[in-house]
């Protein structure tokens, strides 16, 4: 595999996002670690968690990061080494890592046709305790474990309602076909379970697995 794991602190990450500085997230991460599971054999995603959303940091995230917009604070926890899919939103996503994780990222600009080459995906280590903003045009999906066999916990912050029930829309174009949930456009690899559940199959090439790199 030619994929190399870089760091979110490297200059190559700048086209995908930024490291959020100046905000202390230790209490929020402690709440995440003390109140949420991290399965050893799957990945779980909860869009909004009341324990996290009741923390003082919720107002800070809403005001300082999203300019006063209503937000949800959830989590993506578990164990994973594969790409499987890529998604994007109409806004930035904030990921706050309680454990070392690897983010597999791409550019929406490269996925405007009927296929996306998984060889374009780049990998970035997000160290424990680090918060990153993934820009609206950044393709991403579930984090991967930072070390083979290790489970992870990651806080996911998005505008309120994201990843809830998909609106009932009339399909006007190919982009509409990718809408998989509210504010969630998804493209899948044919080997993924999402493809079996109706996601648009758009990822061509290897279903990246970083097991040999971690």
Mean pLDDT of the 161-178 span: 97
Residues 150/79, Cβ–Cβ less than 8 Å:
yes
pLDDT band at 52 (very low <50, low <70, confident <90, very high): very high
Buried b / exposed e along 126-158 (16+ C-beta atoms within 10 A) = beeebbbbbbebbbbbbbbbbeeeebbbbbbbb
Which strands form 43-46's sheet, in the order they lie side by side?
17-19, 131-134, 93-97, 152-159, 71-78, 43-46
Residues 29/98, Cβ–Cβ less than 8 Å:
yes
* Whole-number percent of the chain with pLDDT over 90: 99
Closest CA to 134 of 11, 18, 9, 26: 18
Tell me the backbone φ, ψ of residue 7, rounded to 5 degrees: -115, 150
- Is beta strand 184-188 parallel, antiparallel or unpaired with respect to 179-181? antiparallel
CA separation for the pair 135, 127 (Å, rounded): 19
Domain annotation for the chain: domains and CATH numbers: 5-80+92-160 (2.60.120)
Task: Render pLDDT for 76-132 as a digit per residue (tens, 0 to 9).
Answer: 999 999 999 999 999 999 999 999 999 999 999 999 999 999 999 999 999 999 999
User: Residue 171's CB: how many other CB atoms inside 10 A?
Assistant: 9
DSSP single-letter state for residue 119: G
CA separation for the pair 9, 7 (Å, rounded): 5
Mean pLDDT of the 140-162 span: 98
> What mean pLDDT, rounded, does the chain reach?
97
Mean pLDDT of the 36-50 span: 98
pTM score, whole prediction = 0.97
Q: 1 pLDDT exceeds 80?
A: no
Position 2 scores a pLDDT of 86
pLDDT band at 56 (very low <50, low <70, confident <90, very high): very high
């Amino acid at each position: 595999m030619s994929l190399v794991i870089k760091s979110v602190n490297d200059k190559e990450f700048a086209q995908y996002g930024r490291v959020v500085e100046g905000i202390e997230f230790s209490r929020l991460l402690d709440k995440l670690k003390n109140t949420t599971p991290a399965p050893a054999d799957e990945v779980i995603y909860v869009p909004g968690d009341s324990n996290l959303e009741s923390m003082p940091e919720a107002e800070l995230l809403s005001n300082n990061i999203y300019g006063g917009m209503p937000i949800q604070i959830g989590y993506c926890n578990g164990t994973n080494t594969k790409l499987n899919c890529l998604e994007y939103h109409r806004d930035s996503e904030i990921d706050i890592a309680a454990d070392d994780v690897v983010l597999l990222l791409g550019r929406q600009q490269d996925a405007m046709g009927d296929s996306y080459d998984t060889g374009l995906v780049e990998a970035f280590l997000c160290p424990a305790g680090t918060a990153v903003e993934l820009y609206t045009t950044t393709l991403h999906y579930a984090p991967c474990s930072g070390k083979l066999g290790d489970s992870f916990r990651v806080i996911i912050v998005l505008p309120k309602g994201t990843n809830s029930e998909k609106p009932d829309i009339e399909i006007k174009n190919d982009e509409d076909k990718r809408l998989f949930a509210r504010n969630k456009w998804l493209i899948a690899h044919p080997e993924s379970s999402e493809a079996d559940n109706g996601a648009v199959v758009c990822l061509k090439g290897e279903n990246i697995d970083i097991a040999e790199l971690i």
